[in-house]
């Protein structure tokens, strides 16, 4: 398992591969190096855990349209049948949220590109890097982020065994 700094550097390398400008990359690296909190908030033991989903389709929001399906009968995806659990499919985090619906969100914080995880105890998405919070509709709940994060539409199959994400 990678540390938050390694994960952030990996994300920055990914963004660099997309051809982002030196200015944008500098802002990302500056954010990584200079704006870490002195103490990371402790995880809530009642919250779900993240894992990598097995997705069929396009999961890269920077490569074009998002359109993928998660087979919820597969072991890596089955946890999504439980409220409060979430998985990452590429750069998209998919959560089974408190009201029983599904939320798919770009897992790139609008502050400095930290990863977002769902917290069922608070019914929000928390950035691992500096503790920014987003509501389930993508709005900012707590700074430092100032801009909303992108949300994708989700459709659960009638048998409840597959979840399509489009956006
Ligand atoms: S990267 Fe700073 S709050 Fe998300």
Cβ atoms of 52 and 29 within 8 Å: the answer is no
Q: Is 1 domain-assigned?
A: no
Enclosing domain of residue 117: 44-166
Pocket test for ligand 1, best of 12, 109, 128 (most atoms within 8 A of CB): 109
Ligand 1 pocket member 119 (CB < 6 A): no
Q: Is 3 domain-assigned?
A: no
> How far is ligand 1, taken at its centre, from the CA of residue 35, in Å?
9
> How many residues appear in the chain?
167
Q: Is 24 domain-assigned?
A: no
How buried is residue 75: exposed, middle or buried, by Cβ count under 10 Å (0-12/13-18/19+)? exposed
Per-residue confidence (pLDDT) for residue 54, from 0 to 100? 87
Instruction: Output the domain CATH number for residue 98.
Output: 2.102.10.10
Q: Per the structure, how many domains does the chain have?
A: 1
> How far is ligand 1, taken at its centre, from the CA of residue 161, in Å?
33
Per-residue confidence (pLDDT) for residue 43, from 0 to 100? 54
How buried is residue 134: exposed, middle or buried, by Cβ count under 10 Å (0-12/13-18/19+)? buried
Atom of ligand 1 lying closest to residue 132 CA? 3
The one-character DSSP state at 52 is: B
Q: Is 7 domain-assigned?
A: no
Q: Is 73 domain-assigned?
A: yes
Q: Is 21 domain-assigned?
A: no
Per-residue confidence (pLDDT) for residue 105, from 0 to 100? 97
Q: Is 159 domain-assigned?
A: yes
Q: Is 150 domain-assigned?
A: yes
Whole-prediction pTM value? 0.75
> How do the pLDDT tens digits run along the chain, 167 residues long?
444 445 445 554 454 454 544 444 444 444 444 344 434 455 555 577 788 888 999 988 888 899 999 999 999 999 999 999 999 999 999 999 999 999 999 999 999 999 999 999 999 999 999 999 999 999 999 999 999 999 999 999 999 999 999 99
């Amino acid at each position: 398992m990678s540390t938050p700094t390694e994960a952030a550097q990996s994300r920055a390398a990914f963004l660099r591969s997309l051809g982002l400008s030196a200015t944008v990359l500098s802002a990302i690296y500056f954010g990584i190096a200079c704006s870490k909190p002195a103490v990371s908030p402790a995880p809530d033991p009642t919250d779900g855990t993240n894992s990598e989903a097995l997705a069929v389709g396009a999961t890269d929001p920077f490569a074009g349209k998002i359109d993928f399906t998660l087979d919820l009968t597969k072991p890596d995806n089955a946890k999504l049948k439980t409220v409060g659990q979430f998985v990452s499919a590429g750069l998209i985090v998919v959560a089974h949220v408190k009201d029983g619906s599904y939320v798919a969100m770009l897992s790139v914080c609008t502050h400095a590109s930290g990863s977002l995880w769902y917290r069922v105890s608070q019914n929000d998405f928390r950035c691992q890097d500096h503790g920014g919070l987003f509501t389930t509709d993508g709005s900012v709940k707590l700074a430092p982020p100032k801009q909303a994060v992108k949300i994708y539409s989700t459709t659960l199959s009638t048998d409840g065994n597959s979840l399509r994400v489009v956006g």
